Amino acid sequence: MLPSQHTATASRSPQPPENTPVDAKIPLFCKPPGLNITALNIQKLHASDALTLPSPALQNALLEAYVGLVHPMLPILDLSNFLNAVTRGDGSAGQVSLMVYQAVMLAACPFVDSRKLEAEGFEDNRAALNVYFQRAKALYDLNYESDALAIVQTTLLMTYSFEARHNTTNSWHWSGIAISYAYNIGLHIDPETFGFEPSLRKLRRRLWWACFMQDQMVGLATRQPPRIRKDDFSTKMLQDRDFDVFTDPQGQLAAWFPRLLTAGQQQELALLCIEKTKLCVIISKIFHDHYTAQYKDEESRKSSDLRALLLYPKPAGTWKPNASVLDDELMAWNNALPQMVQQSPALNQTNKAPVSFSITDVHCYALCLIYRAVTLTLHRPEAQEASAIQDRWYPLMRTRTAAKEITRMLAELQSYGRVRSLPVVCIVAAIPAAVIHICDMKDTMPNINSSAATRYWKCVGVLEDLRTVYNAAPFAIEFLNAAYIKVTGDTLLTSKYLMLEETVSDSPADYQRDLLTPVPSNLLETWYDANAGPLGSEDGDLVISALSDGNNGELFGLSPTDGNLQFPPYTG
C-alpha cells in the first residue's frame, strides 16, 4: 500500500518554508505550502477536504488507472519521478505538487472499479470525480501552487471534470487557463531554443502538445472554439524520443502496481499518442477551414460572454476547395496508422472477444473512435450545404459509415466489458452516431432501416453503462430517447428490449451495399435542419455542449419533455 499515512507538520517536512502553518498536515511526498498560504487558508482547505487524500488502497487503484488510462494519451508528468516520490512516501525520492496529485486523483476516477469507490463512501464514479474536482479547485482558487508547470498540469487534468458549457468552470475554461499559462512560460516555443536539459526539454514539449490536444478535444466535444492554431507555435511535433520509458529494476513500483506497464507497452502507447497528436492537427485545420465562432443569437452577442461562442459551419464557398484535401488527409492518417493499430480489434471486426485485451487495445479503440467522430465533423457542413443530391451522396455515405463504425466499436467494447475504460470521447462519438441511426429508421430502403434501431439502442446501451461514470451520460440518454420517440412514436421504448441483444456487425458486403445505395433526400433535412438544428435543438449540432447536472436537465437548452422537438417533414 502507498505510505500515505506518513504526514507531517511543517517542522517535519523536508525544507519547509518558515511560515508554513503548524497545523498544515501535508503528506511527506508532497511539497509543503508556499509562502503565500496562511493559517486561515489552511483552515479553508481543511474545511473543503482539499488536503484529504484517499485511503492507501484507493490511491493505489487511482494511480494504476491514471498510469494506464490517462497518462498515455495526456503525458504531462515525469511519471518515473512522480511514482518514485509517491511510493517512497517519505520525501527522500523527491516531492510532488499536492494540487497536481489531487488532479491526478480526479482524472482517474472514471476508470476505477466502482466497488472500490463505494467502499470509501462514494455513491459512484461520478460522485467521486466531482469530489476530487472540488478538492483540486479549492487548491487552485487559493493559489496554493506557484509553479507554472504544475498549474498547467493541474488545469489540463481538470478538463476531465467535463462540466456544462454554461458552467463558469467547465472544461473549456480549464483548458483556456492551461493554454494561457503555457504561452506565458514559453511552452509554444520549441524547448531546444532555450537549451533546457534533456528531461525538461521532453516534458515541456509533451506539455505543449497536451495543451494542443485537449484544446481540440474540448472543441470537438463542446463546439466551443479552440484557442490554438497550428501557426501560433514553433514547438516541434512529438517523436518517440520525447517520451520517457520508465523501468523498475528493483521492483519497488511493482509492489504497489501489479499491472505496471511494461517497457514495450509504454513504447506502443507513445506511438499512439503521437498519432493522436497528428490527428489533432487535422482537427485544427477542419475547425479553421470549415467552422467559424459566433454567438447563436442577439442576446448571447450582447452578453459578450465568450462561453456563449459556438462553432458554426462557414458558407460552402469558403471551405469547399479544401474539403477533399482534408478528407484525403484524414484517410491518409488512418491508412498510415502503426501496425499494432491496424491489427487491433478496433479495425478488425470480430464477433468474438479477443484472447487477451490489453491497455494498448483500449487506446486503439479510443483513437479510432476519435477518428470517426472527426469524420462526422468534417463532412457535416458539406452534407448540409450541398444543393444537389449527387453532391450530398459522398459526405452522407462517409457519415453513415462513420456512424456504423462508431456503433460497432462501442458494441464490441461493451461486450468485452471495457466501455468504462474509455474517456468521455466515447459519448462525443456515440451521440451523433445515434442521431444518424434515428434518421435511418425512417429510410425507405430496407437494407438501411432494418438495422438502424438495433444500432441506435446499442449506442444508448453504451451510454447507460456510463450513466454512473460521466455527468454527460444521463442527459444524453434522455435527449436521444426523446428524439427517438418523436420519430417512432414508441413512447414505451418497447423496441429497446428486443434490440439490445442483437449484433451490429457488418460484413464487407454490407459496406459495399451502402456505397451503392442512393442517399435519400430526406436524410439531410432530418439530421440537420438548417434553421432549428438537429432534432430541433437550439445549438445546431449534436455534441455534449450542455450536459450536466447543473443545466436543469436540459440538453442544448432544450428539455426532452417540453414538446418542442420538431422534425421537418419526410419526403423519402
- Cross-strand pairs, 291: 313
Output the pLDDT for position 24: 58
Mean pLDDT highest for which of 440-444, 528-532, 555-559? 440-444
**What would the mean pLDDT of 133-143 be, rounded to a whole number?**
96
- Residues 355-380: what's their mean pLDDT? 90
**DSSP 8-class letter at 96:** B
- Low-confidence winner among 94-103, 135-144, 316-325, 478-487 (lowest mean pLDDT): 316-325
Percentage of the chain with pLDDT > 70? 76
pLDDT digit string, tens, across residues 167-218: 556 899 999 999 999 999 999 999 998 989 999 999 999 999 999 999 999 9
- The predicted structure's pLDDT at residue 494: 59
At residue 552, the pLDDT reads 34
For residue 434, give the nearest of 453, 409, 413 by alpha carbon.
453
Mean pLDDT score, 306-311: 82
- Rounded CA-CA distance 290/242 in Å is 32
Residue 7: φ, ψ to 5°: -120, 165
pLDDT at 1: 56
Within 336-388, residue ranges assigned H as helices are: 339-342, 359-385
Mean pLDDT of 531-539: 32
Which DSSP state fits 310?
E
Confidence (pLDDT) at 390: 64
Pairing of strands 26-27, 7-8: antiparallel
User: What is the C-alpha to C-alpha distance for residues 219 and 211, in angstroms, rounded to an integer?
Assistant: 12
Q: Give the pLDDT confidence score for residue 442 in this predicted structure.
A: 80
Which cell numbers in the block locate residue 553? Answer: 436537465
CA distance 438 to 350: 25
pLDDT value at position 297?
A: 75
Contact 363, 272 (CB under 8 A): yes
- Helix, coil or strand: residue 29: coil
Cα separation, 362 vs 157, in Å, equals 20
Q: Which of 223-227, 357-361, 368-372 has the lowest mean pLDDT?
A: 357-361
Report d(CA 151, CA 370) in Å as an integer: 27
- What confidence tier does 545 reach under pLDDT thresholds 50, 70, 90? very low
- C-alpha dihedral over 542, 543, 548, 551, to 10 degrees? -50
Whether 252 shows a pLDDT value over 80: the answer reads no
Mean pLDDT for all residues in the chain:
80
pLDDT of 443:
75
For CA atoms 314, 319, 323, 325, give the dihedral sign: negative
Q: Which residues pair with 309 in a beta bridge?
A: 295
With a cut of 90, say whether residue 425 has pLDDT above it: no
Partnered with residue 293 across adjacent β-strands are 311
Determine the pLDDT at residue 511.
43
- Give this prediction's pTM: 0.84
pLDDT at 515 over 70: no
Of 4-8, 500-504, 544-548, where does mean pLDDT reach its minimum?
A: 544-548
Check pLDDT > 50 for residue 22: no
What per-residue confidence (pLDDT) applies to 119? 95
State the greatest distance between any 2 C-alpha atoms of the chain, in Å, as a whole number: 77
Query: Which range has highest mean pLDDT (207-211, 433-437, 555-559, 564-568)?
Result: 207-211
Determine the pLDDT at residue 495.
57
Q: Which residue has the cell 467494447?
A: 413
Q: Does the pLDDT at position 436 exceed 60?
A: yes
Mean pLDDT of 129-150: 96
pLDDT per residue as tens digits for the range 312-360 = 888 877 766 678 899 999 999 999 999 999 888 888 766 555 656 789 9
What is the DSSP secondary structure assignment for residue 422, as one 8-state letter? S
- Hey, which of 10-19, 68-77, 497-506 has the most confident mean pLDDT? 68-77
Using pLDDT thresholds of 50, 70 and 90, give the confidence band for residue 562.
very low
- When pLDDT is averaged across residues 521-542 and rounded to a whole number, the result is 35
User: Taking 70 as the threshold, does the pLDDT of residue 531 lie above it?
Assistant: no
d(CA 111, CA 55): 17
pLDDT over 90 for what percent of the chain?
A: 50
Per-residue pLDDT, 553: 33
Residues 6+ positions from 192 with CB-CB distance below 8 Å:
201, 236
Q: Which residues pair with 313 in a beta bridge?
A: 291
- pLDDT-derived band at 394, boundaries 50, 70, 90: confident
Q: Using the predicted structure, report yes or no on whether residue 261 has a pLDDT greater than 90.
A: no
For the cut 80, the answer to whether the pLDDT of residue 543 exceeds it is: no
pLDDT tens digits, one per residue of 152-165: 999 999 999 876 44
